[in-house]
Structures are given as structure tokens and as C-alpha cells.
Structure 1
Amino acid sequence: MTFNDNARVGGNTAKRRGAGVAVAGGGVAGLGALAVLLFSLFTGTDISGVVGPLTGGGGSGQESEVANCETGSDANARDDCRLAAASLNLDQYWSENIEGYRQPQLIIVDGQTSTACGTASNATGPFYCPPEETVYVDPTFFALLRERFDATAGPLAQLYVLAHEYGHHIQHLSGVMDRYPDNGSGPDSNGVRTELQADCLAGAWVAHAGEQTDENGVAFLQRPTPEQVRDAINAAQSVGDDHIQRESGAPVNPESWTHGSSEQRERWFETGYQGGYQACDTFSVSGSRL
């Protein structure tokens, strides 16, 4: 998905926090399979104890603005600015559709940083921390996917990841997380239903992402092309629990699922894309239809 070059995105409230570690030029250690990376990238599960940190560097609590992120052209050029700029679009979309919406804080993580939900780093992947109402994303994952694993991790796939985490924020605000607490793993678990609903909410936003505008009335984003939507759907497929298990050489075990199969993740993204956020009630459908 492409930003309009002249759109003004400098009003975003995203912050940078961490040690300021770069991926380019090396520094990645201990990663043996793309599936392991994908598991961390999209599930927010800390695998640092198994594979070690993906880059070096210590933590930091200092925050700063996302520098030189003023226009859509900047957002098209850099992953961190793209995420920061998209937060404006997401906040505008959800404030127009959810009564009482309040925007989450977006933290662009450099290396690692402490949070109320544990350490945010490039070993945990993007995640949402409900007590802080904060989304944490380390964009070095996207560079790693492109440079080391020949994966596209294209712009819309990146924004799908961000929109999925914003979906968790909507669940927090609406009380979904309280009404359907974690009841363990499995294909019919609340955890799977929660994650599939976040995929659906991400799809709903993608369908309308070309409608939000800056203060001058310039649309932030161009409407997604079919190829870009396909890229986002492929990202959803690639992080299905069954696909990750196959890629890691493990047998497919639905009883261990926490996020849903590739088919489910693709289907619920498309449900939101075609039917809007109102179609995203994953908790009212039977397990056979989930």
C-alpha cells in the first residue's frame, strides 16, 4: 500500500524507544528457520531463550520522536515512518467507527525496551500491551525478512501487522478481552478466536484505508491494489499455526494452536475486508465454522 507523496504525516504521536540497533551489515544471530522468525514476528512470543537475540544491543527507556517523518514520501521510503504514518490513518478510521475510541501509543522499538507486558524486542515481534494501551513494533523484522529470507514483507503486509495489533486495542476498548479470557490453546480456544478477530478487524481497515485524509484533505494512502491485498493475505497465511508447524518440521497439532490455521487467518482477513468490522464476531460462530 502506497502513501500519497504529498500527504502530511508529521502529526503522528509515535515514539522511538530502545538501543538504536541496525540490521543492515549483520548482527543477526542464532536463527535457524524462517518459521521460527515468523512465529516471533506475528505472535509476540519471546523466543530469545531458545535462539538468542536477533541483533545486539541493550535496552533503553528513553523516548524520542520518529525523526524526518513528515510526508507520505518519507513513509514510502522507511519502515519506521510508514508505521508511524499509518497510525494516523488507523486512529482516524477507528475514531469514526468506534464510540469512545482513544488512540493507543505506538512505540517503534530499537533493540529492546521494558514494558508492563515484558520486554519488547526483536525476539518478541510486534505486540499489544493492554495495561499500557500501547503497540510495540520493531521494524527490523521486516528488513530481516527481505534481506535474509527472500520474503517480500511489502508495505501492505507490514501495515496488516500493525492493523492486527490495533485490532487487539479495539478488543481491549470494547471489553472483548475481559469477556473472553484466555482458556488455553486449541482450534476452538478463545485465544484463536481473539487472533482471528484481530485479523478480521485488520481486513476491515485495509478495505477503507484509502479514505482517511490529512488536515489539507489529501488522502494518506492510495487504495490498495489487488496485488498488495494478495501480499497481505499471503502474510496472514504464512503465520497460520499449521504452516508454522510444518515449516519447523513438527507435526500439525491443532490442540496446540493459539492463532488459527492459514486458511482461517486468510478467511477472516477477507471477511473483514469484504464485510467490514461488523462481520468480525468470531466468538458467536461454532467451532466447525470458525
Structure 2
Amino acid sequence: MTFQGSGGLDTSGVRAGGSGGGGGGFGGGKIAIGGGAGLLLTIVALLFGINPGDITGGGGTSAYQQSNDVGSNEALQQQIDDCTIELANTSDVCRIVATTNSLNKVWPTLMKGYTAPKTVIFSGSINTGCGAASSAMGPFYCPADETAYFDPSFFADLKRMGGSDGPLAQEYVVAHEFAHHIENLTGVLAKGQRMGNEGSVRIELQADCLAGVWAYHADKGPDAMLEPLTDEQIDSVIKTARAIGDDTIQGARSNPESWTHGSADQRVRWFKIGYADGDPRRCDTFATNDL
């Protein structure tokens, strides 16, 4: 249990989507970021060590049109609409919704000009402003439509990979994708895209740090949605960050030059930097050679 209070949640920015069915696994599927003039094709928000160079070039769109997939999953949409704070402590879907509510309370206090991203909870496959995607991709953010996409079945896969499916670990996943939206708003995303794998690593580590910033603030103040976080809950995030480090995923054959998300130690370190005092200015991974 992490959310406190009772009552309904703001679901206005969250929609259901996807074909239904399918899901699980990692690998396969292609997605490209399209849209604005000069926007480079890449993938920026996957939590897992998939090389952007391996998956760009397929399924892109030159201009975003609202996908017919969004809102097509009526049962899932009803579940979203019925979410309450109480259900956020037992339902993965409602936990995603509640986390978006918390993020959209915290970030306006920290960032001038913050605008909330849209959120799509989907199952199976879905069309996005960045092209076609599937559950196999894991959670991702598409800057072309400024939307974070989540398939709740991912959390079970995360646990099988050695991460945690605890509430705060799941919320960290959502916060990480929202952090990519913040990077999109600040221009960091475009900067990292021009740098290849090195830029991708810096983007992902900054997102981990910004997720830590959110966690620091999310349980503070009279309007805090989260109960005071415990050491055990923070440990569940650290366990998850270690499980999705490039060196953990790639194993003994890991080659740092191929990394796109950073090592297990780097991901833990940057989350801790953000969580230490909740200052987003400390998350500038582009201003240091000590990742």
C-alpha cells in the first residue's frame, strides 16, 4: 500500500487502447519517432537494453493522427474510469492512473511551463504517433504524440527479469516514462538523439534521476498522494533498477559501447541522486563525465 486517502482519480488524461491479447516478452517489434520536421528517428523510452540503431526505421509516421486503437478497448476503459485511490493499492491499472495523478501534482511545482503528457494503457498492440508498437516493447514514451504507453502485463515480466513488482517499483516505471516527457519539454531528448548510444545512456540515466526526484516529493506536503515511503519500498526500486541495467541484461558478454540505458550501478546511482534531495538540477547527466 503506497497511496493514501480515498475517492476518485482524475482519469481525464488516461485512455485505454490496443488490440487486446498478446503481450509479454522483450524483443521484436519496431517503433520510430516521427512527426515534426527534423525529428530524428530513434527510440527513447524503453526501460530495456534495446539498441536504438537496431529498431529504428520501421513503422514510423510523418504526422500523428489519433489512432483508432486508443479507446477501442472498452473493458479496459471502464476499468480506468472506475479507478479510485483505494483501488490503486490493489490494481495495476489503477496504480498507473494514480501515479500519473501524483506526477502531475509534483512536476508543476518543480518545472515552469510543465504540461502533462497523455497516458495510454493498452494490451497487445497499438498504433502510436511513433509507429506501431506492441507489448513486447515494454513501456515507452512517444514524443511525436507526447504520450506515455503502458501495458500492465509488463510488471510480471519485470519480476521474472529479477526486478520487483512491488507498488513503488511499478510507480518508478511510470515516473521514468514521464521523465522522458520532461526531457522532451526541455530539449534534452533531441540533444541526446544526436549523440547516438552515448546520448541514449545519458537520457535514460537522467530519467532515472528525475524519477527519484518525483519519489522524494510524492510523499511530502498536505496534498501528498503517497504515504511516507519506507526503506523497503525504496529497496524495491533499487532492485528493479539493477535488474534493467544494460550489463545485467546483456550478461557476461556485455559491451559498454553497445549500452543504451546504463549499467545497473549507474541506474541505481542516478535514481539515488534524484531521491536524495529532490532537486532536478542535480539530474544533468549531460554536464558530467562521471556517469
TM-score of the superposition, structure 1-length normalised? 0.79
* Pairing of 1:116-195 with structure 2 (within 5 A): 116-146=129-159, 152-185=164-197, 189-195=198-204
* Matched ranges for 1:1-290 at <5 A: 2-21=2-21, 42-43=47-48, 45=50, 61-63=69-71, 65=77, 67=79, 69-146=82-159, 152-185=164-197, 189-211=198-220, 217=223, 219-246=224-251, 250-275=252-277, 276-286=279-289, 289-290=290-291
Q: Distance in 2 between matches of 1:181 and 1:149?
A: 27
Over the aligned positions, Cα root-mean-square deviation in angstroms equals 2.8
Inter-partner Cα distance in structure 2 for 1:122 and 1:46:
17
Contact 2:219 2:229 in 1 (8 A): yes
Structure 1 residue 137: Cα displacement: 0.7
CA contact 1:93–1:212 (8 Å) conserved in 2: no
Shift in Å at residue 210 of structure 1?
1.4
Q: CA deviation at 1:223?
A: 1.9
| % identity of equivalent residues | 42
| Paired residues, number | 255
Please state how far the C-alpha of 1:267 moved relative to its aligned partner. 0.3
C-alpha deviation, 1:19, in angstroms: 2.2
Query: Would you say the 8 A contact 2:107–2:114 is kept in 1?
Result: yes
8 Å Cα contact 2:49/2:244 also seen in 1:
no
- Equivalents in 1 of 2:171, 2:179: separation in Å? 12
Gapped regions of structure 2 (runs ≥ 5): 28-44, 56-66
Task: Show structure 1 runs of 5+ residues with no match.
Answer: 32-39, 50-58
For the Cα contact (< 8 Å) 2:118–2:146, is it kept in 1? Answer: yes
Give distance in 2, aligned partners of 1:203 and 1:97: 13
Which of 14-23 and 79-88 deviates more? 14-23
With structure 2 as the length reference, what TM-score do the two structures score?
A: 0.79
